[in-house]
Structure 1
């Protein structure tokens, strides 16, 4: 195999892993999908021989769990603190637009303010709405930890599979 192609392949794989891990913290980046894409890049540049049905099944299962857990854990934080569906939707919208509207602090303030606004719209008082907003931040942190752990598992499985 051409050494230059191998180097390009590895650079792309590492870059996709970095984007994926950054995506665990910054939700605008593709996260788990970037890591998943790295496996295909590896296969295209270095060969798919090491991968089999078990590898792809495990990795696909982890990605599915990540998507479900990402939403569910965030919603859990809001619900645990007494939030309504409106605050779950508000915190989700806040996670997406917060970093753009409030650069630097939007990742934290977005879900907090989104949940507070959603809960106020649902008819809760200000004190309860702030409590639910705090729950949204707790859910965000918990979700981030879960994503980091599962994405590291994806990368570790990949390394185990190719060595």
Structure 2
């Protein structure tokens, strides 16, 4: 049974790592669940509560940044709140359209939101590019927090 649980934990972590790039796979939730199972297999002897709290905080940070990054990226270009909302909505809708939807969804959402707010094509384009920049920041944060989560687990397990 222990070997089966380790296999499940490793598969979940690997799927989560793949999910950093593949939009249909929830990356950090899978990594968190996999690491939790890995700690549980050992009855939390090596990876204890403190390490799991740190891993959990990194997980929450990743989810928050990933969710709001496109909207914040659009807002940093001086765009309206409607453009920021459009970027977030575009991110969510884009999830259903694969990789292209993931990339173009925030751009289209921010662009459309800014057109609704100001009807200025140049500013709408800036809002869209800001949303894509936010998306890149979100993916980078997801990769960094996933690596940190795994690093905390491995450090706690082996040291």
In which range does the TM-score fall when normalised by the shorter chain? 0.7 to 0.9
CA positional deviation for 1:40: 2.6
* Alignment match of 2:45 (pick from 45, 49, 54): 49
Residues 87-107 of structure 1 show CA distances to partners (whole Å, capped at 9, x for unaligned) of 111111211222424x44111
2: CA distance, partners of 1:94 / 1:135: 13
Gap regions ≥5 residues in structure 2: none
RMSD across aligned positions (CA): 1.9
Gap regions ≥5 residues in structure 1: none
CA positional deviation for 1:28: 4.1
Closer, same or farther in 2 for the Cα pair 1:99/1:60, shift >3 Å?
Answer: closer
Matched, 1:100 2:93: no
* Alignment match of 2:111 (pick from 109, 116, 120): 116
Secondary structure of residue in 2 paired with 1:89: helix
In structure 2, the residue matched to 1:82 is 78
* Alignment match of 1:34 (pick from 16, 20, 30): 30
In structure 1, the residue matched to 2:14 is 18
Q: How many residues align?
A: 158
1: CA distance, partners of 2:64 / 2:95: 22
Closer, same or farther in 2 for the Cα pair 1:18/1:26, shift >3 Å?
Answer: same
Closer, same or farther in 2 for the Cα pair 1:23/1:131, shift >3 Å?
Answer: same
Matched, 1:148 2:143: yes
